[in-house]
Structure 1
Amino acid sequence: MRAVKKIFLTLLVVVFILAIAFTFYLSGLKPTYDGQLQLPNLSSEVKVHFDNHAIPHIYAENTMDAYKALGYVHAQERLFQMELMRRIAPGRLSEMFGKDLLETDKFFKTVGIHRMAKEEAARLKSSNSIEFQLAQSYLDGVNYFIKNGPTPVEFTLLGLDKSEYTIEDIYNVMGYISFSFAQAQKSDPIVTAIAKNLGPEYVADLDLAGHGKTEMIRNYPQNATMEKLSAKADEIMNSLPAPTWIGSNSWVVNPTKSATGAVIFANDPHMGFSQPCVWFEAHVVTPEWERYGYHAALFPFALLLHNRNYAIGLTMFENDDIDFYYNVEPTATIKEEIKIKDADPVTIEVQISEFGPIVSDVIDGLEDKPIAMWWTYLQTEQESMEAIHLLNHAKNMDDVRKGASKIKAPGLNVMYGDKDGNIAWWASAKLHLLGDNVDRNLVLNAKDSTHTNFRWLDFTENPQAENTPWNYVYSTNNQPDSIRGGYYPGYYAPEDRALRITSLLESKEKISVDDYKAFFLDNTSTVSAKIAHEFARQIEPQNELQKEAKELLANWDGSHSRESKAPVIYQKIIYHSLKLAMENKLDSGQFEGWLNTHLMKRTFDPLFHNDSSKWWDDLKTEAKETRKQVFNKAFVVSLEELTAQLGDVKKWKWGNVHTLEHPHPIGKVEMLREYFNVGTFKMDASDAVLNKLSFVRTSTGLYPITSGPSTRRLINFADIENSQSILPTGQSGNPLSDYYDDQAEFYTKGKWRKMMMNKEEIEQKAMGTVIFKSEN
């Protein structure tokens, strides 16, 4: 008995020691927020104060040192995110996740972003420009952390080795982000199939151009084949373990319109939700300059930023910068190797044409029907690094305009406001015009000169507005007004958000900071309300439940609060009405593909108000169906499904079906989900309101949110040090950090935190300070 007790006590001691050791191991993986660290070749020491949300405030005596420290603190919070993002464009995800990502890697190897990245990196390096020097200094900080810092737990779980980062990696991330902005790869093939199989009347009823009924940003310048192509693009983008870049809002009022007497600036870029979230915040100060910025993974320069003089925000321009061509001839063949975790590597042959890579080679069943992808990004020399550097280090509005002019792709709306009262927006992209009668929503003919001859536009011809007489500028990804008598083709958002923000901005003579906060969280769509009211006029209820549902729709104001019942009914009817109208005319899977396109959101409003549209008739029946019949059938089916799904109508609450979870790639493993993912939260809003929280419509009646505001920024030049923002989850990408999800509840409740800029306040409230000293 005494021996058993001794063994038991020994085991307890071993377990206790192992527990302590494991605790110390986990503690060692956390970011360093206090103490002294070394960095090679610093000119002088750099102090980094971390505020109570782990935002670094970097104080350096010179710019090179500042960027080196920025690289280190960025890497200690987001190294796995950097690793993930740098692997997408060069087709290296299979090395991380195995053969499940092989098709994705094949696709990106074919597109060729990595080939462009290699050329651009070599060009920048040979220039030895200030952009190159600062980017390299940032990478030196990242790479020093790789060598000397702890290994993130994701690397251990996936069995990944750490390796240094290069300028080429930065360009690969830039290229992927540019591609994720594009929409044509999803929609052009489906529109082509509709035109070919059903005829031009069906395309016309969808009002793809949208010129007749939409809110436009006002300028003030100073076939089966097609189905497979669309389905492949959809599959690729949905399979990525990284966020896509979706849309955005921004609005800026000048001192005349502002209740504070100074410019007020707002921006909330819409991106796919992920964990960690997209942005890493950093405040950098040297004797020469200051910047509070938002950095994408592996970006030395901020994409969103402000200082005491000016603010910059971004939204998607949504211009069409991708065209597909058939009747193409290969001009070169490139062999690409794809390494696969726990499997032999695969070699593919990529064919190149004068119109770009032949993407049909990586789509089953299309090998004998060559289709090439012409993309602005691959057709022009990029100046991305130079453009972003200039935006970060501008001296005045002219510098910002110049920086905006250097952006070729993706198309962006650069939003601007400054302390002197200037406001502006510039559509920043390298635009090109084909012939007037060429429909770029369709796949084009490489043998037709009207489809291939084009003219590049000068930046001065782009849509833009500076210091408007109506005292504000805004963008909600909606279509700009005509330029030189024509509309530039694109995949612009429907008018919901544009109508709402213009009505809110014009509803008051002066707009206050509190008004701004309310605008960010606004969840009302007047367009949705009008559609619901049209439904109600057409519906003929047959029982008490249907009467109650009809009344809810008839009286709905378009608000999407989590306690509301009307949006639950509305979204169900939207889905079933579209399904009844379209599925009988499209090939298998095409309807679901259409629901995933950007165009779908723009077209169902005009379609639902068009009583004579050809879409209402079911081509598989002898009778001629009407819009009223489709609406009533959709209404009955919707209520039956909601009753089966949710039970009593009292439980038909929007928050019960509209939820948000922030997914981490490791969280796909169910046993690890609760440790890596953040959420789930019941949410207000929808995909058609200012507080845009997007989802995909399916038959399930559930609307898990896929994208939304990646940050909310509110900058008041009358009180710059009390400007405010929020992140969806937290600053840190390290699941062991206390700042991994500390902002998640704030975000879901529409709360804010200060973007601190006052040095004395930062030093007083810092939860820790790291002092970097030179290793030499």
Structure 2
Amino acid sequence: MTIATVVRSPLPSYTDDVTVPGLAKDVTIKRDELGIPQIYAEHSDDLFYAQGFVHAQDRFFEMDYRRHVTAGRLSELVGENPDALAADKLIRTLGWRRVAEKELPLLDKSTREYLQAYADGVNAYLAGKSPRQLGLAYTVLGMNNEIDSVARWSPVDSLAWLKAMAWDLKTNFNDELDRAGMLSTVKEPETVDSLFPAYPEDHPTIVTAKELAAGRGESVKGTVEESASAGGAAEADSHAWVEGLRAGNPAGAAHKALNAVPNLLGTGDGIGSNSWVVSGELTATGKPMLANDPHLGLAAPNIWYQAGLHCKSVGEACPFDVAGFGFSGLPGIFIGHNQKVGWGFTNLGADVTDFYLEEVDGDTYRRDGEDVPLETRTEEIRIAGAPSVKIEVRSTVHGPLISDAYDDAKTASRSVPNGQKDAAPAGEDDDEEAQQRRPYALSLSWTALTPGRTADAIFLLNTAENFDDVREAARSFEVPGQNIVFADTAGHIGYQTPGKIPVRNNVSDAPAPSDGSWPMPGWDSSYDWQGFVDFDELPSVLDPRDGVIVTANQPVIEPGAAEFLGADFDYGFRAKAIQQQISAAKKSGRKLTAADMNAIQNSSTNEFAKKLVPYLEDVYVDEFTREAVDLLRGWDYTQPADSAPAAYFNAVWKNLQRVTFDADLPEGMSADGSDRWMAAVMKLLDDPDNKWWDDSRTQNSVENRDLMLAEALTSARSELTASLGKNPEHWEWGMLHQLRLEQSPLGGEGVPALIRGAFNAKPVGIGGGTGLVNATSWDASKPGYDVESGPSMRMVLDFGNFDRSTWVSVTGNSAHPFSPNYLDQLSAWAAGETFPWPYSGKAVDNATQDEMRLLAERAG
């Protein structure tokens, strides 16, 4: 068999008609030059059957890979691999698929039918095909692990993907663990909290208390009546809590276990999104416009799959006429529009996870002064080509013991004397008494581990006709917590907070904050969740007076007005920049167009740099460094790929965090350059002698702000001289800030270069950066400045004429490396360009390049 045959074998035909079992009527699939399908059917089940078929055509290996990940069975696919095994251990501990299996019978009958029809369509494409005919990745993996066949698709396979979505879109999660982990070196909770500053007063919230005057959400505080601690004296509890988090750092063990999950949507700063909507009074068409660009991990293929789902005759029997972005493996459209309504999502950032520090003794754990049994189960992890591995999953009333999923957790955890609240003294872990002490472990409460009905919400959104319908869909949208922005062809715009939000006690004399911002004492039931916030009390706004709603992961409402949502949100640099650009257009009387909305999406003004640069310009440095500092004089604070000032500023920012914070932070928790660190440094700039400015590594001197700024400026000058050349005028941000798209699992390190080259895109230098509207975020705690996450797609909806809407994906619709649609949108995306979005029948016909039919089997 030739190489050409091997690489072309998985490529599907877009023009051959195929007779398939299970269809009621024939289905037509029209594709444009980008390979984006528009599906036309007479029945809803046939529509989703066809969607499953085209997803399998273009992306089955991606679907199968995700299926293995979400079931904790990745080792079955890739073989003996420590990273795969670590991921399997954690996901089995969490039990994603177990939860999905329980969700299926809870869903509406029609949703279950759509899921089954979708699965039937996937399986129709799989029928009679060998793995090598489904994806080149199977051929490559088959060189080491024999892969003779693939399993049929099931509705539970689709539902399990919702757990992966919820996992990657939780946000407070990392902040909570970071607070706990920092105690091992920073020591005092108050000092740790200084690195988690309050939301800047001059940055906007999504809505205001005045806009909520109608009553939704305004009066809710998210706590029940004040409760006394049930676990003993507050002073002893506080000692156990603080020492338990410091000693042996079980939070650190949990962090390492949690980081084992493969990057499916993305993790880290920048995982959020921009979405905003403006009323027709502000647009050139006189109708609303809505923009959305979700910020997720960027990979090849992109997370999104573009499609249109059209009933030939829209009615009760077939109510769908929807187009937009969805996920391979899941039926329906996740973000997009139908004939009347459009919607976008950004990550809400509500606190839906809490960690609990547990006192564990053998098969029991401490609970209100008593020992109660742990729940246990055994999971067997099969490994292709190697013996299976068995793990014991232990759970408390709060949830699974996450720290168990990290192999070294039990040796890393310090302990307390059996039945007591005092931590083990340093250096006594190996004596006889220490062997009888209770080890600490960390459990996880997470809303997504409770079966829910989020899948129902997808189809309710797809058929919504007005804001009340959108709110009804949001009622079922339990996880992940999202902000929903809405507009319709009648001219209305709106906002809705969905999600399952825990209610927490306000514990008096608390040894730990009871608001969920820190891991809480599991031995005290006062810290348990008390239920969930009623949906009708969540913030909701229709047609605000100023005609603008901006969501960019900032707080929904002013701090203190909706405490139940949590405390850890984006710090609003992006939201402020978007608001400013819309306000400038309003003041000038200029009406917004779709092109203006896209221009805002691509804007790269660095609001944080506006705060920091004046301090940098005033610092004394040598002449060599001054040549670089002069780049910042007169800088417009934008970060296009060819900007020399942007290259230098970001290098300075990275070095400033290194010299200021890293010596005092635990391993693995270095400053990453996210908006939180920006907000923290903004506070410190006004306090030049704050102890954070003092470098603890220098024993005989005390540094201040200006000395640290000077060191960062000098280090950045030396760094860029070595990497980009001696002349600062020749530096370019895109030379440092590059996007490297990889396909999992065959595009990563450890894979032969020839194979990586087939699956990965060539590096692309791009503009933007962390905390900017064009949020191509990078991680300052890692070497280099490569893009970690960014706008996974960009769309603008024009409610005056949907055919004037625009869209673009970071890669392309196909996951086959040798398909012309694998990376065909990348260059446009990198340049900030978009494509026309055909929706009407006439527009689709004009754009159609390939057409095929799925033919129903005829009797006889």
What is the TM-score when the length of structure 2 is the normalising length? 0.83
The answer to whether the 8 A contact 2:402-2:443 is kept is yes
Relative distance call for 1:374 and 1:466 in structure 2 (3 A) is: same
User: What residue ranges of structure 1 are gaps of 5+ in the alignment?
Assistant: 1-17
Q: Does 1:533 align with 2:614?
A: yes
Measured after TM superposition, the shift of residue 453 of structure 1 is 5.0
The answer to whether the 8 A contact 2:196-2:680 is kept is yes
- Secondary structure of the structure 2 residue equivalent to 1:218: coil
Structure 1 equivalent of residue 600 of structure 2: 519
Relative distance call for 1:447 and 1:29 in structure 2 (3 A) is: closer
Structure 2 equivalent of residue 240 of structure 1: 262
- Secondary structure of the structure 2 residue equivalent to 1:399: helix
Distance 1:366 1:29 in 2: 43
Counterpart of 1:542 (choices 617, 622, 626) is 622
Structure 2 equivalent of residue 420 of structure 1: 490
- Secondary structure of the structure 1 residue equivalent to 2:395: strand
Structure 1 equivalent of residue 747 of structure 2: 667
Structure 2 equivalent of residue 199 of structure 1: 188
Counterpart of 1:468 (choices 539, 544, 555) is 544
- Secondary structure of the structure 2 residue equivalent to 1:595: coil
> What RMSD, in angstroms, separates the aligned Cα atoms of the two structures?
2.3
Measured after TM superposition, the shift of residue 612 of structure 1 is 4.3
Q: Deviations over 1:57-107 (max 9, x none)?
A: 111111111111111011100101111111222211112223221111111
Measured after TM superposition, the shift of residue 434 of structure 1 is 2.0
Measured after TM superposition, the shift of residue 27 of structure 1 is 3.9
Counterpart of 2:90 (choices 72, 94, 107) is 107
Distance 1:640 1:74 in 2: 49
Counterpart of 1:317 (choices 344, 348, 352) is 348
The answer to whether the 8 A contact 1:414-1:428 is kept is yes
The answer to whether the 8 A contact 2:253-2:409 is kept is no
Distance 1:317 1:463 in 2: 12
Relative distance call for 1:609 and 1:484 in structure 2 (3 A) is: closer
Distance 2:44 2:782 in 1: 54
The answer to whether the 8 A contact 2:32-2:849 is kept is yes
Counterpart of 1:182 (choices 170, 178, 182) is 170
Q: Does 1:340 align with 2:411?
A: no
Distance 1:260 1:238 in 2: 48
Distance 2:152 2:516 in 1: 42
Relative distance call for 1:552 and 1:464 in structure 2 (3 A) is: farther
Measured after TM superposition, the shift of residue 28 of structure 1 is 3.9
Q: Does 1:681 align with 2:770?
A: no
Structure 2 equivalent of residue 736 of structure 1: 818
Measured after TM superposition, the shift of residue 747 of structure 1 is 1.0
Counterpart of 1:140 (choices 120, 127, 136) is 120
What amino acid maps onto 1:331 in structure 2? Answer: L
Distance 1:357 1:602 in 2: 34
Measured after TM superposition, the shift of residue 322 of structure 1 is 0.9
Q: Deviations over 1:587-627 (max 9, x none)?
A: 33332xx4287744553433344434331123442433211
Distance 1:229 1:96 in 2: 30
Counterpart of 2:556 (choices 480, 483, 499) is 480
The answer to whether the 8 A contact 1:185-1:230 is kept is no
Q: Deviations over 1:234-273 (max 9, x none)?
A: 6754761533262100111011121210011111111111
Distance 1:449 1:177 in 2: 30
Structure 1 equivalent of residue 630 of structure 2: 551
Q: Does 1:690 align with 2:712?
A: no
Counterpart of 1:74 (choices 52, 55, 67) is 55
Distance 2:342 2:16 in 1: 33
Distance 1:693 1:226 in 2: 35
What amino acid maps onto 1:471 in structure 2? Answer: G
Q: Where in structure 2 are the equivalents of 1:205-224 lying within 5 Å?
A: 205-210=194-199, 212=201, 214-219=203-208, 220-221=211-212, 222=214, 223=245
What amino acid maps onto 1:295 in structure 2? Answer: G
What amino acid maps onto 2:852 in structure 1? Answer: V
Relative distance call for 1:696 and 1:618 in structure 2 (3 A) is: same
What amino acid maps onto 1:616 in structure 2? Answer: W
Relative distance call for 1:230 and 1:541 in structure 2 (3 A) is: same
Instruction: Name the count of aligned residue pairs.
Output: 748
Q: Deviations over 1:504-546 (max 9, x none)?
A: 1111223222211210110112222221222222x10221x32
Q: Does 1:433 align with 2:421?
A: no
The answer to whether the 8 A contact 1:186-1:597 is kept is no
The answer to whether the 8 A contact 1:49-1:766 is kept is yes
Relative distance call for 1:736 and 1:637 in structure 2 (3 A) is: closer
The answer to whether the 8 A contact 1:678-1:729 is kept is no
What amino acid maps onto 2:402 in structure 1? Answer: V
The answer to whether the 8 A contact 2:257-2:402 is kept is no
Q: Deviations over 1:639-685 (max 9, x none)?
A: 12222222222332101000112111212222112211123111011
Measured after TM superposition, the shift of residue 226 of structure 1 is 7.3
- Secondary structure of the structure 2 residue equivalent to 1:706: strand
What amino acid maps onto 2:542 in structure 1? Answer: E
Q: Does 1:296 align with 2:327?
A: yes
Structure 1 equivalent of residue 530 of structure 2: 454
Percent of residue pairs bearing the same amino acid type:
26
Q: Does 1:279 align with 2:304?
A: yes
Relative distance call for 1:576 and 1:227 in structure 2 (3 A) is: farther
Distance 2:442 2:673 in 1: 22
The answer to whether the 8 A contact 2:778-2:785 is kept is yes
Distance 2:673 2:374 in 1: 33
What amino acid maps onto 1:206 in structure 2? Answer: L
User: What residue ranges of structure 2 are gaps of 5+ in the alignment?
Assistant: 215-244, 315-319, 360-364, 366-372, 411-438, 507-512
What amino acid maps onto 2:445 in structure 1? Answer: W
What amino acid maps onto 1:244 in structure 2? Answer: G
What amino acid maps onto 1:292 in structure 2? Answer: A
Q: Does 1:633 align with 2:711?
A: yes
The answer to whether the 8 A contact 2:256-2:406 is kept is no
- Secondary structure of the structure 2 residue equivalent to 1:416: strand
Structure 2 equivalent of residue 94 of structure 1: 75
Which piece of structure 1 moves more, 414-423 or 577-586? 577-586
The answer to whether the 8 A contact 1:192-1:226 is kept is no
Relative distance call for 1:226 and 1:493 in structure 2 (3 A) is: farther
Which piece of structure 1 moves more, 349-358 or 78-87? 78-87
What amino acid maps onto 2:722 in structure 1? Answer: A
Distance 2:335 2:43 in 1: 22
- Secondary structure of the structure 2 residue equivalent to 1:79: helix
Relative distance call for 1:75 and 1:205 in structure 2 (3 A) is: same
- Secondary structure of the structure 1 residue equivalent to 2:497: strand
Relative distance call for 1:109 and 1:602 in structure 2 (3 A) is: farther
Structure 1 equivalent of residue 792 of structure 2: 710
The answer to whether the 8 A contact 2:280-2:491 is kept is yes
Distance 2:254 2:679 in 1: 22
Q: Does 1:503 align with 2:580?
A: yes
The answer to whether the 8 A contact 1:194-1:202 is kept is no
Structure 1 equivalent of residue 251 of structure 2: 229
Distance 1:505 1:51 in 2: 33
